[in-house]
């Protein structure tokens, strides 16, 4: 039996915990009961939620832009995103005690955000090859930099040795962004 209205369930971040007793269903305050933003993060269980639907919407938006541009390989976007998230999860598993696959998929999904307007400009105006290559290179650098900066913010409390290990993620991030950009027609 559902204890919350259906719209509350749709607005909640996806809860994929393996311990159902630790989920936030039993919390006393709900985000809809109080207008203050401090009630949104009132319990420790609610602080640990990682957004999945936002990055999924951004990756789907990139897929929609490619679909509008008559690109046939749109389903590969989700596979590239999933493989890069799994790879980064396994790399980070070595030095973090409790890495979350959802965290990596969220960070890499949000890093696609800079690609959206540049891909739209690229597909809308169909620039010459040199300008097209410059747009793609700029989008690749911007999106890779945003992903690396997101990982560095998460590792800001880590030791300097663990921050150095962050460099291991850079090739996989650049490869994911390059594969996503390679789907654009030249």
- Report pLDDT digits (tens) over 5-51: 544 444 555 444 444 434 444 444 333 333 333 333 334 444 567 88
Number of structural domains found in the chain? 2
- Report pLDDT digits (tens) over 56-104: 999 999 999 999 988 888 999 999 999 999 999 998 887 776 778 999 9
Q: In this predicted structure, what is the pLDDT of residue 145?
A: 94
Q: In this predicted structure, what is the pLDDT of residue 114?
A: 93
Q: Tell me: do 8 and 58 sit in the same domain.
A: no
The residue range of the domain holding 87 is 53-182
Q: Does residue 120 lie in a domain region?
A: yes
Q: Does residue 119 lie in a domain region?
A: yes
Instruction: Answer whether 0.85 is exceeded by the pTM.
Output: no
Q: SS3 sequence, the chain?
A: CCCCCHHHHHHCCCCCCCCHHHCHHHCCCCCCCCCCHHHHHCCHHHHCCCCCHHHHHHHHHHHHHHHHCCCCCCCHHHHHHHHHHHHHHHHHCCCCCCCCHHHHHHHHHHCCCCHHHHHHHHHHHCCCHHHHHHHHHHHHHHHHHHHHHHHHHHHHHCCHHHHHHHHHHHHHHHHHHHHHHHCCCC
Q: Does residue 33 lie in a domain region?
A: yes
Q: Tell me: do 120 and 36 sit in the same domain.
A: no
Q: Does residue 65 lie in a domain region?
A: yes
């Amino acid at each position: 039996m559902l204890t919350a209205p259906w719209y509350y369930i749709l607005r909640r971040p996806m809860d994929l915990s393996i311990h159902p007793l630790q989920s936030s269903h039993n919390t006393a305050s709900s985000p809809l009961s109080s207008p203050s933003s401090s009630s949104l993060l009132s319990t420790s269980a609610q602080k640990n939620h990682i957004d999945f639907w936002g990055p999924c919407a951004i990756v789907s938006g990139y897929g929609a832009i490619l679909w509008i541009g008559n690109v046939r390989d749109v389903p590969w976007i989700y596979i590239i995103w999933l493989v890069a998230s799994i790879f980064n999860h396994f790399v980070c598993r070595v030095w973090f005690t409790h890495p979350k696959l959802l965290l990596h998929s969220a960070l890499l999904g949000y890093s696609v955000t800079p690609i959206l307007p540049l891909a739209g400009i690229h597909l809308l105006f169909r620039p010459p090859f040199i300008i097209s290559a410059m747009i793609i290179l700029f989008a690749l650098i911007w999106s890779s930099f945003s992903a690396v900066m997101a990982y560095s913010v998460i590792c800001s409390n880590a030791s300097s040795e663990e921050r150095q290990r962050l460099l291991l993620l850079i090739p996989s991030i650049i490869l994911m962004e390059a594969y996503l950009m390679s789907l654009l027609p030249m």
